[in-house]
Amino acid sequence: MRAPVLVGVALIALSISNAFSALPLSSPSHYWAYRLSTLGPEVVPGILPRSGYGYEGPYTENFRGIVAALSRCGLEGRHGIAGSRKPGEFFLGLDGLVTAEVLDDTDREYRVGTALRLFAGLPAGFSVHERLSIWSGSDEQPPEFFSPFHIGAEKGRHFYVDWGYLRWRGGWVCASMGRVPQRWGPGRFTQLLLSDNAPGIDMVRLGLKPVEWLSFTGLTGSISSDSSIYLSAHRLDFFPLRNLRAGLSEAVLYKSEGLEMAYVNPLVPYYLVQWNERDDDNVLLGIDVEWKPFSGMALYGELLVDDFQYQSRYDRPHKMGWTLGADMADDGSGLCGALEYTRIDRYVYSQRKPCNYYLHDGRIIGSTLGPDADRSTLSVGWVELWPLLLKGRVEYERQGEGTVYEGWPDSIQSGGSFPSGVVERTTRARVGVSWYPWPGLELHGSGGRRWTDNHNHLSGARLEDWLGWLQARYNW
């Protein structure tokens, strides 16, 4: 039995902002961003960070309090997106994070880390975004909320550029170049096509919003420059109604001596290019929908198609994943909650060629859940005790023996069990607390219990352990 006690300590920040869209994707406060999105009158875009989107709406004092406190966590807002500075005026924002953790096990483990984040507003619509982080852990693991970034292969050396990019925004066009973090899709707890499970990708990205009911995003980036592996992706978001959004996405991971210009072109379907012009690249298709029947209720779903066997004579299984969820928030009582289920078939994210596995820095670019697995998640939050915010989360997860590294064997046939082999079953229960005692200061913590049956896919093996962390932030 192991009992981790994670003791987090100080975030020191120099932060000048009031736009929630500027929150780092790894921030513990992002949980409340989804709740506020659910309460808003319109469906928000299917891409995070939601740069340029505000959370103004008919909230009571409870949720206005969340907006007021959490809005200080970013850098762009007050001097950029919110428009309080003059166009073309230069400004510089800087914040830093310091955190420490102690893991109480048979041998005590220690983790410490710090990060420095910069945002600069430049003339003519340009802006610069950067985050550097450094951490150390006796168990070679990063502190909480450092995990979406580079792990690194060499022990003891963990100094990284988490993101760093130049962005230009002009009218309905937005272009970025550099290492950009992002998520695609409406999932509250996981995203199937692009997530922040893997580090930010070095890319060129173009965003277009020519009309209110349509937006487009296309990108091409390098997964491994040493191995000449690249990723291209594009996405259309349709808004037929204010309360309805539908997204269509496609991504391709491929190995080439140079950039494949057909994939750099964001206007052509990658699947047709791969089928007719290329050898055997890894193309994935994503479809997602979010609908708000009324303010305070959001229903959403995402479908990932890695491979669909329309030639049935081979009797091979489909490679698909899907998510269904509901997010609810009541502005009167201060209660909110989300229920989500995700299933990912075996062999999803894999491919015949190991170089085309859907990985970046050894981690899946899509869902953290991985293939041959499913998970049910229930989360509940309460803001009535503001400035104290409470949340609870229960998960039940099944992991089969399949992994992304087993590839796609030609001999495989459909009809196998799901999940496969000896199934590892894990239940997690945790309670989280956030406290905003005075302007600029945030305290976050979480504690819980985990029960695992058939641990490491060994029949009858059982593991029980504690989970927990604490963190403090200060912004001024």
- pLDDT band of residue 138 (cuts 50, 70, 90) is confident
Which residues neighbour 312 within 8 Å (Cβ) at sequence distance 6 or greater?
none
Query: pLDDT value at position 473?
Result: 67
Closest CA to 346 of 287, 395, 409, 397: 409
More confident residue, 411 or 464: 464
Mean pLDDT over 302-327 rounds to: 86
Q: CB of 29 within 8 A of CB of 434?
A: yes
More confident residue, 70 or 468: 468
Query: pLDDT value at position 248?
Result: 97
Measured at the CA of 396, the angle between CA 45 and CA 6, to 5 degrees, comes to 85
More confident residue, 317 or 321: 321
Lowest-pLDDT range, 20-29, 152-161, 163-172, 376-385? 20-29
How would you classify the pairing of strands 12-14 and 359-360?
unpaired
Query: pLDDT value at position 282?
Result: 94
* CA 117/CA 132 separation, integer angstroms: 7
Residue given tokens 């089969």 in the structure block: 400
Q: What percent of the chain has pLDDT over 90?
A: 43
Secondary structure of 119-169 in the HEC alphabet? Answer: EEECHHHEEEEEEEEEEEECCCCCCCCCCCCCCCCCCCCCEEEEEEEEEEE
Lowest-pLDDT range, 77-81, 225-229, 287-291, 302-306? 77-81
> What tens digit of pLDDT does each residue of 227-248 get?
899 999 999 999 999 899 999 9
Q: CB of 38 within 8 A of CB of 297?
A: yes
Residue 425 has pLDDT above 60, yes or no: yes
Q: What percent of the chain has pLDDT over 70?
A: 81
Query: pLDDT value at position 214?
Result: 93
> CA 186, 191, 194, 195 torsion: positive or negative?
positive
CA distances from 195 to 129, 233, 238, 244, 358 (A): 19, 13, 20, 22, 12
Encode burial over 226-248: b for 16+ CB neighbours within 10 A, e otherwise: eeebbbbbbbbbebeeebebbbe
- pLDDT band of residue 315 (cuts 50, 70, 90) is confident
Whether cis (ω within 30° of 0) applies to the bond prior to 387 is yes
What are the tokens at 228?
């000449």
How would you classify the pairing of strands 424-435 and 441-453?
antiparallel
Whether cis (ω within 30° of 0) applies to the bond prior to 24 is no
What are the tokens at 14?
């120099």
How would you classify the pairing of strands 229-241 and 244-255?
antiparallel
Residue 202 has pLDDT above 50, yes or no: yes
Which residues neighbour 449 within 8 Å (Cβ) at sequence distance 6 or greater?
428, 429, 430, 464, 465, 466, 467
Q: CB of 378 within 8 A of CB of 394?
A: yes
| Other CB atoms within 10 Å distance of the CB of residue 122 | 16
Query: pLDDT value at position 255?
Result: 92
Mean pLDDT over 353-376 rounds to: 94
Query: pLDDT value at position 20?
Result: 45
Q: Which range has highest mean pLDDT (31-40, 392-401, 461-470)? A: 392-401
Q: Is residue 279 exposed (0-12), middle (13-18) or buried (19+ Cβ within 10 Å)?
A: exposed
Mean pLDDT over 348-367 rounds to: 93
Write the DSSP string, 295-359. TTEEEEEEEEEEE----GGG-PPPEEEEEEEEEEE-TTT-EEEEEEEEEE-TTTT--SSGGGSSE
> What tens digit of pLDDT does each residue of 75-97 get?
554 434 333 455 566 777 777 67
Whether cis (ω within 30° of 0) applies to the bond prior to 371 is no
Residue 276 has pLDDT above 60, yes or no: yes
> CA 261, 266, 271, 272 torsion: positive or negative?
negative
Query: pLDDT value at position 118?
Result: 84
Residue 180 has pLDDT above 70, yes or no: yes
Mean pLDDT over 152-179 rounds to: 85
pTM of the model: 0.89
Q: Which domains does the chain have, with CATH numbers?
A: 12-475 (2.40.160.130)
Query: pLDDT value at position 9?
Result: 37
Indicate the average pLDDT of the chain: 82
CA 139 to chain centre: 24
Element housing 72 (H / E): none
Q: Is 263 helix (H, G, I), strand (E, B) or coil?
A: helix
Strand partners, 474: 12, 441
Query: pLDDT value at position 324?
Result: 98
Mean pLDDT over 218-230 rounds to: 89
Query: pLDDT value at position 326?
Result: 98
Lowest-pLDDT range, 21-35, 374-388, 427-441? 21-35
Q: CB of 348 within 8 A of CB of 320?
A: yes
Query: pLDDT value at position 61?
Result: 66
CA 166 to chain centre: 21
Mean pLDDT over 346-362 rounds to: 92
* CA 279/CA 262 separation, integer angstroms: 13
Q: Up-side HSE of residue 263: CA atoms within 13 Å toward CB?
A: 28
Residue 63 has pLDDT above 80, yes or no: no
